[in-house]
Amino acid sequence: MNFQASGLPEVLPLLKGKAVYSLDFSLDGRGNPARGVCAATETELAIFRDGKETFRCPLAEVEEYTTVQLVGSGAFGIVRGGKPEQLCICTQSELNAFAELGKLLEYHKETGVFPEPDGEDEVKTCPKCGSILPEGSSICFRCAPKGKYLARVIGLAMKYKGALIGAILATAVSQLLWIIYPFMQRIVIDDYITPKNTDYRSLLVLLGCYLLFPVGMMLLEFLNERCTTRVSISVGRDLRRELFEKIQEQSMKSITKRPSGEQIKRISSDTEKIQEFVANYGKEAVVRLLSTLVILIVMLVLNWQLTLLVLIPVPFAILATQVIFKYIRRKYDMVWNKFSQSESTLHDILSGIMVVKTYGSEKREIARYTGYSRRFADSMFKADRFWYLFFPIIGFVITMGEYFYLYFGGQQVLIGNMTLGALIQFAAYIGMIYGPLRWIIQLPRFIAEAAVSAAKIYEIIDEKEDVSDRPNPVELDIKGQVTFDNVGFGYKVYKPVLKNISFEVKPGEMIGIVGPSGVGKSTLINLIMRLYDVSSGAIRIDGVDLRDISQHSLRSQIGVVLQDTYLFEGTVLDNILYAKPDATMEEVVEAAKTANAHGFICKMPNAYQEYIGNKGYKLSGGEKQRIAIARAILRDPRILILDEATASLDTETEKLIQEALGRLTQNRTTFAIAHRLSTLQHADRLVVLDKGRIAEIGTHMELLRNKSVYYNLVMAQRQTSRLSNN
């Protein structure tokens, strides 16, 4: 975890005891830059600024921890003896971590335990370079071991050995032909195109051979392209599949920590970059480096003095590239960050386009997206401007060698030390190494870009699953008995949502889950579906711990009708079939009839084949819900989950839905959360949650008689509905 300040080693001698948590802060009391560390040991809280202690106090004396948002910065403080004290000023980006630190220390005050921070809300920085990590990322793409990731990409390409060898051979042979070509040129010029030569026949034969070169080259190029494309497309496809599979298998916690736009980008553009890299650079780099080496050897053998002369500017160019590359890389990192932000914003806006339209905030969103897009374009412009200014200069420096060569080589021909053919042959080789040299100089940039993409892809692929099947999980044929055994859960360790939840549900029973908003009703249901694992205790189905049941067998026997039904792009039929792709049309119609959906489906122009558009925009809320119910009926689950399924509908639709639900819940264990308590009256039992615990359990009538939490909730709701009716 990152609750380890980078400035901690400096202040360690001043700290009495080991630091449990420590954070850097970078402003002094007046908002000027400073090197600060806030550290908590097992007994004390201490603040250091520029290596000096500015505050120390026993943890036992602290009554409360506070974080305050200031203009462009924030303050961390405590309350001691009833008086607030401000301890340090931090930047905006550091403030989240301080807020988290406050919560961790509060938790310690209550329980005596120092919880392990999960650091999800914390702004994470790279321990090596100190830069802020992108949202949802746990590695710094600048400092990540890129060679290791690229090696994995190469390993993946090796799966297609045949095509890879074909491509390498084709390129190598065509390079070889290129090397031989100038030899032919030299023979033609020096031996045949001479004033005294009369052997026209041999000249013709030689020129015929000349013609074979482009033909051979063309065939080799075709083979090369075919093999390379096969390898690169296959590598891209494999990576996309692996990445997508991994994301599908991830727990909700892992999936939601990254913006979905970011995940889409990794699946599409990062794999595309790798694909491009394999196609254009991977194999090419090997072959070009090798052929440059061979040409250099040939040149050295032919005329080593001229070769060295030609190569004089090369080390300077390489050195300059190395230095400038370091600088340029930072610029390209910036470009990536800005691009990522603009893509995520775009995705966010498009996902919430309904809200944007209903609030008439199109102009604001246009300004927001344009802002991000402009910052991305600016950063790209700056990075590219630099690159394109620098690159021709390097090109020019390298080409300087050519002038040396023409001058000295020309002199040698004039004094008769060298033939014209040899000069032309040499010139051809120079052309052949300059091209690859320029290309090789650019290579680090492409390698770096591909390596960053590989790191981003493998970051997800390598992520440890927090909700995973144990080896040989139980494939359970669920009857429907569900037991909560002293279950505790919190999205964050130090902030429990549910505490000591224990109750047992018989197969086929309908349980209503009731409680004020935010008490943990949806969380309880998420735990049954094992979208998250319990923090303590256990949930058992038919006596088997949920964590021992295979996720597939569990989820295939749970049906869900959520408040906001998600419909996929496609027809009504596709959406109902989603629950059971192999169902027959009769089964689908039967399910739709039971769900009271058949009627409205048949009224649509194309009935079951009606295309319902993106997210089902063509349907009303009640219609969408009935499709969701039909889906659940078709699945025929043993456990059914209804989350606020009847919220905000007109009376007629609600009646239809209640009827459908009544049929759906028969003989299935059902957990239902309803906004309006009246809809849960027919539940067998109600579990009433209050402050994260079970306050009471019983039937509607029993709980009303208790005149406790449930009674108060019902009374409060009646009052509200009476007020709204008046």
Burial 678-692 (b: 16+ CB within 10 A, else e): ebbeebebbbbbbeb
Q: How far is the CB of 626 from ligand ADP (least distance, A)?
A: 23
Distance CA 559, CA 562 (A): 10
Whichever of 498 and 541 has its CB closer to ligand ADP, that residue is 498
Q: How far apart are CA 311 and CA 349, in angstroms?
A: 54
**Residue 532 main-chain phi, psi, to 5 deg:** -135, 155
Distance in angstroms (rounded) separating the CA atoms of residues 107 and 496: 10
Nearer to ligand ADP, 164 or 514 (CB): 514
How near is the Cβ of 144 to ligand ADP at its closest, in Å? 27
Supply 480's token pair. 């429907």
For residues 92 and 357, give the distance between their C-alpha atoms in angstroms, rounded to a whole number: 31
Q: Which is nearer to ligand ADP, 132 or 493 (CB)?
A: 493
Question: In the set 22, 125, 453, 522, which binds ligand ADP (CB under 6 A)?
Answer: 522
CB of 683 to ligand ADP, least distance (A): 16
Is 17 or 518 the residue whose CB approaches ligand ADP more closely?
518
Q: Which stretch binds ligand ADP (CB under 6 A): 171-179, 212-220, 239-247, 511-519?
A: 511-519
What distance in Å separates the CA atoms of residue 352 and residue 349, rounded to the nearest whole number?
Answer: 5
Between 89 and 640, CB nearer to ligand ADP: 640
Closest contact distance (angstroms) between CB of 702 and ligand ADP is 22
Q: For residues 216-235, which are near ligand ADP according to CB under 6 A?
A: none
User: Rounded to whole angstroms, what are the CA distances from 99 to 64, 67, 87, 123, 590?
Assistant: 12, 6, 13, 11, 54
CB of 32 or CB of 517, closer to ligand ADP: 517
- Spatial neighbors of 362 by CB under 8 A, at least 6 apart, are 356
Beta partners for 511? 671, 685
Token couple for 718: 């009646």
Residue 233: HSE in the Cβ half-sphere, 13 Å Cα cutoff: 7
Least Å from the CB of residue 580 to ligand ADP:
28
Window of 132-140, 478-486, 516-524, 717-725 that interacts with ligand ADP by CB under 6 A: 516-524
Residue placing its CB nearer to ligand ADP in the complex, 174 or 523: 523
> How many angstroms separate the Cα of 343 from the Cα of each of 23, 257, 273, 318, 373?
31, 16, 16, 35, 9
Q: Which stretch binds ligand ADP (CB under 6 A): 258-266, 326-334, 428-436, 521-529?
A: 521-529
Q: How far is the CB of 516 from ligand ADP (least distance, A)?
A: 7
State the minimum distance, in angstroms, from the CB of residue 235 to ligand ADP: 35
Using rule CB under 6 A, residue 563 touches ligand ADP? no
Stretch that binds ligand ADP, among 295-303, 518-526, 623-631, 661-669 (CB under 6 A): 518-526
> Minimum distance from CB of 535 to ligand ADP (Å)?
13
In this complex, which beta carbon is closest to ligand ADP, that of residue 239 or of residue 519? 519
Which residue stretch of 143-151, 212-220, 265-273, 513-521 sits at the interface with ligand ADP (rule: CB under 6 A)? 513-521
Contact by Cβ (8 Å): 579, 501: no
Using the minimum distance from each CB to ligand ADP, give the nearer residue, 425 or 646.
646
- What's the alpha-carbon Rg for the chain, to the nearest Å? 35
Least separation in angstroms between CB 714 and ligand ADP: 17
CA distance 629 to 588: 12
Choices 51-59, 139-147, 151-159, 514-522 (CB under 6 A): range interacting with ligand ADP:
514-522
Q: Which residues pair with 33 in a beta bridge?
A: 27
Q: CB of residue 695 vs ligand ADP: minimum separation in angstroms?
A: 13
Q: Which of 62, 519, 641, 664 touches ligand ADP by CB under 6 A? A: 519
Output the CA–CA distances (angstroms, integers) from residue 414 to 191, 407, 427, 577, in the order listed: 18, 11, 16, 85
Euclidean distance between CA atoms 306 and 13, whole angstroms: 63
DSSP letter string over 548-601?
Answer: GB-HHHHHTTEEEE-SS----SSBHHHHHHTT-TT--HHHHHHHHHHTT-HHHH
C-alpha separations of 70 from 87, 95, 101, 102 in Å:
14, 10, 18, 17
- Of 171-179, 328-336, 373-381, 510-518, the window that binds ligand ADP (rule: CB under 6 A) is 510-518
3-class DSSP state of 51? coil
Give me the amino acid identity at 397.
V
What's the CA gap between 537 and 554, in Å, rounded?
A: 19
Gap between the Cα atoms of 284 and 447, Å rounded: 12
Nearest approach in angstroms of CB 63 to ligand ADP is 24
Measured from the CB atom, the residue of 101 and 592 that comes closer to ligand ADP is 101
Helices (H), ranges, 312-361: 313-351, 353-358
- Selection from 493, 485, 497 nearest residue 522 by Cα: 497
Q: Which of 248, 472, 517, 651 binds ligand ADP (CB under 6 A)?
A: 517
Least distance (Å) between residue 517 CB and ligand ADP:
4
**324 SS3 class:** helix
Interacting positions 88-127 with ligand ADP (CB under 6 A) = none
According to the binding rule CB under 6 A, does residue 726 interact with ligand ADP?
A: no
Nearer to ligand ADP (CB atom), residue 523 or residue 653: 523
State the minimum distance, in angstroms, from the CB of residue 484 to ligand ADP. 15
Of these, 273, 283, 456, 521, which contacts ligand ADP (CB under 6 A)?
521
Residues 6+ apart with CB under 8 A from 700: 680, 681, 683, 686
Q: Which of 674, 625, 349, 660 is nearest to 525 (CA)?
A: 674
Minimal distance, residue 97 CB to ligand ADP, in Å: 17
- 457 vs 459: CA distance, rounded Å: 5
**Does 523 contact ligand ADP by CB under 6 A?**
yes
Out of 518, 599, 613, 662, the residue judged to bind ligand ADP by CB under 6 A: 518
Which residues lie across from 148 on neighbouring strands? Answer: none
> What is the closest distance, in whole angstroms, from the C-beta atom of residue 521 to ligand ADP in the complex?
4
530 contributes a contact to ligand ADP by CB under 6 A: no
- 3-state secondary structure at position 488: strand
| Min CB(491)–ligand ADP separation in Å | 3
Q: How many residues bind ligand ADP (CB under 6 A)?
A: 10
In the complex, minimum distance from the CB of residue 118 to ligand ADP, in angstroms, rounded to a whole number: 10
**Closest CB to ligand ADP among residues 257, 438:** 257
Our CA angle for 452, 456, 457, nearest 5°, is 120
Nearer to ligand ADP, 322 or 712 (CB): 712
Binding mask 439-478 for ligand ADP (x = CB under 6 A): ----------------------------------------
521 vs 638, beta carbon nearer ligand ADP: 521
491 binds ligand ADP (CB under 6 A): yes
Rounded to whole angstroms, the Cα distance separating 355 from 515 reads 28
Q: Note the residues at the interface with ligand ADP (CB under 6 A).
A: 491, 497, 515, 517-523
